[in-house]
Amino acid sequence: MAAAAPSPAQMAQQNLSMRAMLLASSPRARKNVLTTTSPLGGTVRLKLFNVGVITKLVLQVSAAVTIGVATATLGPKAPWNIIQRVRLTDYDGTDRINLSGFQLFVLNCVRQRTLYGFNNGAATGFTQFTNPSVPVAVGAQTVNFFIELPLAYDVDNPVVQLQDLRGAILGQTAVGEMYLSIDFISSLVSTTGDVDSLYSGSGTTTVVATTTNLFTVTLWQEYILPQTLGNGQIALPSIDLQTVYELNGALKSTDNISVSTEKLINYPNVRSVIGVYANYVTGGTQVSGNINRFRTIANGNNILIDHSEQSQFFYQRTFMIEDCDILPGVYFRAHRDKPMETQLFGNLQWGVTPTTVSGGNQYMEIAFESFYTKGQSLPGMIQASG
């Protein structure tokens, strides 16, 4: 008589046991994948190593520029908007990460619950280097920043028992290849102060690339190197490795943006959504004070969460460990304490009501942070919202 199949509870417990054994028995490693360059508006495609249980990627991006005539002003998304889009596609063609560089920065701030990558704790005299570094003075300058692309949800939690490998990718395969693609911005400066530029300034300010291949990018790959246990087996948490930690964005929605009219942003279906992110650009600017209401709505009429702009900002500030703000015009709602299971609601939306619509370069940039089981048939993000 065949043995009974394990119950979901038994499978979950086995996954936790395998996760704990993998973390306890296996060393952490980091490989320098490569360093490459790209011109303005270019794209680089970086092949990852097929090794270990891959938990995260780290990028360093730099650009040598010359600022002329007048001191430049940083754009509000600088320097992360150097990356127009970053996309990680795994072995079966599934997009794990599809975000703009700015969205990736905001998401990392929420993941770390602080301003990501900044020197937030030490006195100035103890600063070893500046990150991000975006000089504005006239002359030859170097822009530089680091940014992380998480694959495993929480591999670095200081409490070992809380480390979470959901989303990690098993790279120990001789079949298939995994690539990271990065699209770079095509313009360095806007004299009209447009939000999507790296720099803005007066009509006389110039910023030019010092070299033809302006952007230099270095990629590191972090992974766990599984070890054979005493019984000859390797501890691999099957549920963690079959779970996709999806960071899905790079969507600029321009429809249904009107004064005092609620714009409805549809949550992606068949996912456990743990975060929704938006930043609002109108008239080429991204500032606070242009939105007056945020509502999380289930099935069209069940209001789950209702915020004014100031109460939304207060929620965001208190969510962060150091009670810090991110950047003006940036909004998020975290559902980490209880993920939004979109298959249970039928229809789940984030309603955002603008008070200012200035035309010109105008859009709402949207991203979602979710889990789903690998192999599920999934609808994509719906661009039309409202």
Distance CA 32, CA 218 (A): 8
pLDDT at 17 over 50: yes
pLDDT at 290 over 80: yes
**How large is the average pLDDT for residues 91-113?**
95
What is the pLDDT confidence band of residue 379, given thresholds at 50, 70 and 90? low
What is the pLDDT confidence band of residue 374, given thresholds at 50, 70 and 90? confident
* Residue partners of 189: CB distance under 8 A and separation at least 6: 72, 197, 198, 199, 200, 201, 205, 206, 207
The pLDDT tens digits of the residues spanning 333-362 come to 999 999 999 888 878 999 999 999 998 889
The pLDDT tens digits of the residues spanning 320-336 come to 987 789 899 999 999 99
Between β-strands 199-200 and 189-190, what pairing exists: parallel, antiparallel or unpaired? parallel
Cβ pair 224, 30 in contact under 8 A: no
Stated as kind and residue range, the H or E segment containing 64 is strand 53-68
The pLDDT tens digits of the residues spanning 164-199 come to 999 999 999 888 899 999 999 998 988 776 788 898
Distance CA 73, CA 204 (A): 12
What pLDDT is stored for residue 344 in this prediction? 81
Q: What is the mean pLDDT of the chain?
A: 90
Cβ neighbourhood burial of 303 (10 Å; 0-12, 13-18, 19+): exposed
5-9, 62-66, 106-110, 224-228: least confident range: 5-9
Backbone torsions φ then ψ of 96, nearest 5 degrees? -85, -40
The pLDDT tens digits of the residues spanning 266-285 come to 999 989 999 999 999 998 88
What pLDDT is stored for residue 384 in this prediction? 43
* Residue partners of 24: CB distance under 8 A and separation at least 6: none
- CA torsion through residues 110, 113, 115, 119, sign: negative
pLDDT at 382 over 60: no
The pLDDT tens digits of the residues spanning 134-154 come to 999 999 999 999 999 999 999
What is the pLDDT confidence band of residue 110, given thresholds at 50, 70 and 90? very high
Domains in the chain, please, with CATH? 8-240 (2.70.9.30), 254-373 (2.60.120.20)
What pLDDT is stored for residue 128 in this prediction? 83
